[in-house]
Amino acid sequence: MPHDECPMAICLRENRTVRGGTAIAERPDGSRVNFIPYPSPMRDSSGSLVGAVNVLVDVTEQVRVEGELRATADALRASNAVKDEFLGLISHELRTPVTTIFGNARLLRDRGDTIAEPDRRSMLADVAEDSERLLRIIENLLMLTRLGAASEVDLEPQLLTHVTKTCVAAFKRRHPTRHIAVRATTGHVIVEADRTCLELVVENLLSNADRFSPATADIGVEIDAENGEARVRVMDRGIGIRPDDLDKVFSPFYRGDVAPSLATGLGIGLAVCRRVVELEGGRVWAAPRIGGGTEVGFALPLLEADHLPD
């Protein structure tokens, strides 16, 4: 600090006690300490200033603790803000399907005999669709919670081609109007993965492609293996992803500017995919598709390449 601002210099210049200041001292080895100076004037019997004494109190640890407390308080405020936003999203996303299911179920129960058959089928389709949506939200939330508390998953050999085709078949049964083309450029490939987690990853990729694609657009699923890894790619002709968002889409609760206007969702499906795949030693990616749309895929280390009969 400038000499004229030094507490000891002020004490001597103005012949008074100086209190309330803090400063930082640098030792010869370059380390620094925070301290509070307590300079006091010394006077002779006639009251004339003859000198001063200064006590420096090291408050480095106190400053460190205060800094940590401020950081903790800031983190808690941010956490509460995220929690409030999360609860708001959850409330909205759960209320919509529950309202549809509840309303249609009550109408079918109370007035089912008077409702025309086409209307009943439409109402039941709405119940089934929103029940699936509700189940997907809950499964992703449970998986995100489970993975947040655990640092590993139970790995067992899985036939990736078989698991993927099984997931696609189940998805097509629930969405009979959506055409999904599956192409495997290799035979059955074996990876180490948790079967439930693997199925959830494929389901999330298919659901995203379905939600953000025109109803008449095909979805492509490709399975291949090269360079020691097995890959699954889900490709759509939907709205696409901006280059700046290609990595952000795997962050929890992130949704692009266009996505909310086309489909609802919490923005946790792809975050679950990344967490699951990385815990299993793999990787995920998103890329623009030539001709429009998006490719989202994942790769897992190839345990064994073995051509097994379908």
Beta strands at 219-226 and 180-184: parallel, antiparallel or unpaired:
parallel
Here the tokens at position 235 are 């490709």
155-203 pLDDT per residue, tens: 899 999 999 999 999 899 888 899 999 999 887 889 999 888 899 899 9
Q: Which CATH architecture best describes the domain 3-58?
A: 2-Layer Sandwich (3.30)
- Confidence at 261, pLDDT banded by 50, 70, 90: very low
Distance, in Å, from the CA atom of 230 to the CA atom of 162, rounded to the nearest integer, reads: 13
Residue owning tokens 């083309």 = 181
Q: What is the pTM of this model?
A: 0.60
- Confidence at 148, pLDDT banded by 50, 70, 90: low
Instruction: Tell me the average pLDDT across 242-265.
Output: 67
What are the sequence ranges of the domains in the chain? 3-58, 81-149, 156-305
Phi/psi class of residue 150: alpha, beta or left (left: φ > 0; alpha: ψ in -120 to 50)? beta
Instruction: Tell me the average pLDDT across 289-305.
Output: 87
Is the pLDDT assigned to residue 310 strictly greater than 60?
A: no
Task: Compute how many other C-beta atoms are within 10 angstroms of the C-beta atom of residue 240.
Answer: 17
Model pLDDT, residue 290 = 87
CATH label, 81-149, candidates 1.10.1200.10, 3.40.50.1000, 1.20.120.80, 1.10.287.130: 1.10.287.130
SS3 276: helix
Distance, in Å, from the CA atom of 208 to the CA atom of 105, rounded to the nearest integer, reads: 27
Is the pLDDT assigned to residue 297 strictly greater than 90?
A: yes
**Can you identify the CATH homologous superfamily of domain 156-305?**
Histidine kinase-like ATPase, C-terminal domain (3.30.565.10)
